[in-house]
Amino acid sequence: MQIINFISNLAMPLIILIIVIYGVVEKTNIFDNFLEGAKEGLEIVLSIFPTLIGLFVAIGALRASGVLDIIIHFLTPILNVIHFPSELMPLAMLRPISGSSSIAIATDIMKNYGVDSNLGIIASTIMGSTETTLYTIAIYASSVKIKKTRFVLVAALVADVVGMLVSVAVCRFLS
């Protein structure tokens, strides 16, 4: 374990040292390249900032309005038929939208039901097998100025649904 900690502590300084050595060997101006990269990164952050604000406002409104509870109430009969625990629906609905919200919901599930419970294991598996789809598409598409994302969105959301259903099925099979 001490070796892993030692390697972890050395990783970043070694990477920086390798970059500096490479720059010296290639005779490039490392600091100017760094500043140029930092400037480009800042421009990207500024270009995606409005998208992030819109997503955060929408997530806050969705959680505060009670719409999630209404949707879960109407979907519970269908969920019972496919053996999808209704306790996981807030996670399933917010996972494609927000990573921080889904982490909060997964943490809440684990506090209420236990980390080693069936629901806790399924929640962990869902977190690992799905992506914050809307967030990712919004960030990538807005940073490269792509306007038409409907086909990517549909494919990604289908992948999320499949990941969630398979997570439940595999966890139930293995328990």
pLDDT band for 85, please (50, 70, 90 cuts). Answer: very high
Tokens representing 125?
């598996």
- State residue 100's pLDDT score: 80
**What tokens were used for 111?**
């506090």
Q: Please give the model's pTM, rounded to 2 decimal places.
A: 0.67
The pLDDT, as a whole number, for residue 110 is 92
Q: Which of the 8 DSSP states describes residue 121?
A: H
User: What is the helix (H) or strand (E) element at residue 156, kind and residue range?
Assistant: helix 150-174
Question: Helices in 26-98 by DSSP H: which ranges?
Answer: 30-65, 67-81, 89-94
* Chain centroid, CA 41 distance in Å: 20
Q: How far apart are CA 175 and CA 154, in angstroms?
A: 32
Instruction: Check if the beta carbon of residue 97 is closer than 8 Å to that of residue 54.
Output: no
- How far out from the chain centre does Cα 89 lie? 17
Residue 83 belongs to what domain range? Answer: 2-174
**Total structural domains in the chain?**
1
pLDDT band at 164 (very low <50, low <70, confident <90, very high): very high
| 84-104: burial string, b at 16+ Cβ within 10 Å, e else | bbebbbbbbbbbbbbeebbee
Per-residue pLDDT of 140-162, as tens digits, reads 887 777 878 888 888 999 999 99
Chain centroid, CA 14 distance in Å: 29
Q: Span 16-20, mean pLDDT?
A: 90
Does the pLDDT of residue 136 top 90, yes or no?
no
